[in-house]
Homo-oligomer: A and B are copies of this chain.
Amino acid sequence: MSILEEFQPLFHPTSVALVGASADPAKFGYHCLQSLLKGDFKGSIYPVNPSLKEVCGLKAYPSVKDIPDKVDLAIIIVATALVPQVLTECGEKGIKGVVLITAGFKEREESKGEEAQREIAAIANRYGIKVIGPNTHGMANLHANLDASFTPEFSLVKKGGVSLLSQSGGFCHLIAWLAIPENLPFSKIVGLGNRCNVDFADLLDYLEQDPDTKVVTLYIEGTDDARRLVQKARQVSRKKPMLALKSGVSSAKDQASQFHTGSLAGSYEINRAALRQAGIVMVDSSQEFVDAAKALLLCPLPRGKGVAIITGQAGPGILATDCCEPNGLTLARFSPRTQSRLCELLPPLSIRTNPVDMGPAWFDWKTCIKVVEAVLEDENVDALVLCAVYASLNEVLLRELCPLLKGLHQGKPVIVCFPSPPTAWEAERRGIESYGVPVYSTPERAVKALSALVRRQEIVAAHGQEHSC
């Protein structure tokens, strides 16, 4: 069985049982059902609850074994003590995928928790069930209209090429809520929980093959099998861009992440340096995570780290410039040809060196486009950051300029910083992004996103050298 087939019941089920379904909005089982419904899941949904005949208009079954149909995936949210029995019934029913939301296993402070987790892992392995969890918020596969979590709002996230494997459900929520206004599209969003028989490495194998996943992103606290994770990352990063945030920098919180999903953050030598060497672009904050994922998804890679900045207003251009060096980028020195072209195109009130400050010429979109073209043609320029702030005065400009950015980039990444009041320029932002040009709302975020592309390029180059050895 191929890896895609192995994970088919989890990520592309044709029917889902929800064990612990509830009509009470105070219960997880209610919200899980809402997730399936609001996510617009196209397959069959079977609520399971021995004390109910019907839940939210759907017929309920006493046990998975009573469901008259084949079931691919079971979402389980029952009392901890009931999990072994429910899992056994799932196995007997032939269910091969389980999302086990119930907590109270390895993350407990007593050894009993670890024992309980070993027990359920044994049951799952006996029946060949792949389990996401326990102690997870769940997961979503937007390409299958499947929100198998207790949060229906995951279906608000746009469908697209980024997949996230996270050791924290809270992080999945955080990233999803940042992603929605950023228009960052996701495929799989997986809360790994305590990882009883599906760990990072297993899902990396899957995501490497998954045609819907273009960028693989990870949130890591700690892992029991660092070596395998690093090995897999080295393999996957040859094929797809990988991005990660590793938490657990401070010693004070080691205790927190230890108990969180039952693993020690600082131990097992899993650290940022090892992950970076494995070919993962490492970021420092949740906002950077979202921003870098967008750039990695949309942009071609730069050939080097020489950046050109073109700005409509000096201030934001200076902020972008300041941000280059600390993020490993250099300001490109324009060739004499570009320099003289800019002097032709721009009046003396503009700054015609890098960073290019358009000055009053900013309001003439035909000149803007020529300046963008001239700069992108320069062989010293590996990438372009284009900055402008919204003012009603340049609204028309942007509407004319945006469609022209399509196909302009000549294989070089173009990153745009267009801060604007809420809802202004929304259509334009979406339009620009559809041409492979990500848009950010501060100069610093734009430059940091670009630096992720440069780091990805360095990883690709290093892989190439390994090949040629």
Contacts and interface: CB of A to CB of B under 8 A. Distances in A.
A321 B265 CA distance: 13
A26 B396 CA distance: 9
A47 B421 CA distance: 27
B252 A169 contact: no
A150 B393 contact: yes
Contact of A313 (B168, B257, B419, B441): B168
Contacts of A314: 168, 170, 256-257, 259-261
Interface string A405-449: 000000000000001111010000000000000000111110000
Contact of A389 (B167, B170, B247, B319): B170
Given A169-B313, A252-B331, A318-B248, A108 B348 contact: yes
Given A103-B349, A315-B169, A174 B331 contact: no
A444 B286 contact: yes
Contacts of A249: 322, 325-326
A64 to B, nearest CB: 24
Contacts of A443: 174, 286
B316 A260 contact: no
A318 B222 CA distance: 12
A325 B252 CA distance: 10
A72 interface: no
A116 interface: no
A421 B324 contact: no
A153 interface: yes
B150 A421 contact: no
A260 B353 CA distance: 13
Interface stretch (A175-183, A195-203, A369-377): A175-183
Interface in A304-328: 311-319, 321-326
Nearest to A249: B322
A265 B314 CA distance: 12
Interface size class of A (residues with CB under 8 A): 35 or more
A445 B219 contact: no
A223 interface: no
Contact of A444 (B25, B265, B287, B360): B287
Interface string A389-403: 111110010000000
A166 interface: yes
Nearest to A247: B318
Contacts of A174: 315-316, 389, 419, 442-443
Contacts of A153: 390-392, 421, 424
Given A286-B444, A390-B153, A256 B321 contact: yes
A96 to B, nearest CB: 28
A284 B261 CA distance: 34
A200 to B, nearest CB: 15
A238 to B, nearest CB: 28
Contact of A253 (B322, B359, B360): B322
12 contacts: A103-B349, A153-B424, A167-B315, A174-B315, A174-B443, A177-B420, A247-B318, A253-B331, A256-B314, A260-B357, A286-B319, A287-B444
Interface of A: 25-26, 28, 31, 34, 103-104, 107-110, 137, 150-153, 156, 166-171, 173-174, 176-178, 180-181, 219, 221, 245, 247-250, 252-253, 255-257, 259-261, 265, 284-287, 311-319, 321-326, 331, 348-349, 351, 353-355, 357, 359-360, 389-393, 396, 419-422, 424, 441-445
Query: Can you list the 6 inter-chain pairs with the closest CB atoms, starting with the nearest?
Result: A168-B315, A170-B313, A170-B315, A173-B389, A260-B314, A253-B321
